[in-house]
Amino acid sequence: MPDFQILRLDDIEVDNSIQPRAKGLDGGHVDDLAAAYTAGADIPPPVVWNLGGERFRLSQGYHRLKGAKKAKLTELKCEVRRGTETDCAIDSATSNQGHGLKRSNDDKRRCVELLLKLLPEHTDTVIAEKAGVAQSFVAERRGGVFKSDLNTPPSTRTGQDGRRYKTNKPKIRLETGEEFPHLNERG
């Protein structure tokens, strides 16, 4: 059973680094939501995570929160979940798959890249399932995420069954093709 609470808007932390929209908020959608709040429409509550004590961070409903502020609301009914900052970030990255403003291809790419950074040890299939995209899309993005961050991919990945499997780690190379020996030596 979800836990709902009325929270002051000023008490809700917003971390734009986990915001699932690649291009940020859509101003027209925010305006529509503000008008709907002003008219008293029944809008699904945003999802926030209680990170301990009175610390609440938004994971779903960035447009709704901005619309509520634009409508000059000071409080809003929210669905409250409990967990860690990572739980909150994963929830944010995987939102908007079946409701709200339709996800663009850039939004899907951002979702996959966030999940790969948060869950690098998970298989492409697991990431694809969480992101609501094809496994091939995840595999393509995985190479780009690790290349751009100069991180080495994990030596094992966790499958859907929860078991860990060894991976074939590609060598990390510069754009020129030169290898990074110190990175390639990591296990």
Helix or strand holding residue 13 (H, E): strand 12-13
Binned at pLDDT 50, 70 and 90, residue 26 comes out as: very high
Helix or strand holding residue 164 (H, E): strand 164-166
13 vs 57: CA distance, rounded Å: 4
Encoding tokens for residue 90?
């994963």
Give yes or no for residue 180 having a pLDDT over 60.
no
Q: Are strands 164-166 and 56-60 parallel, antiparallel or unpaired?
A: unpaired
pLDDT in tens, 86-141: 999 999 999 988 777 889 999 999 999 999 999 999 999 999 999 999 999 999 89
Say how many residues make up the chain.
187
CATH of span 1-97? 3.90.1530.10
Q: What angle do CA 119, 125, 129 make, to 5 degrees?
A: 80
pLDDT in tens, 27-75: 999 999 999 999 999 999 999 999 999 999 999 999 999 999 999 999 9
178: Cβ contacts below 8 Å, ≥ 6 apart: none
Q: Is the dihedral of CA 19, 112, 60, 51 positive or negative?
A: negative
Predicted structure pTM score: 0.75
Sequence ranges of the domains in the chain: 1-97, 104-187
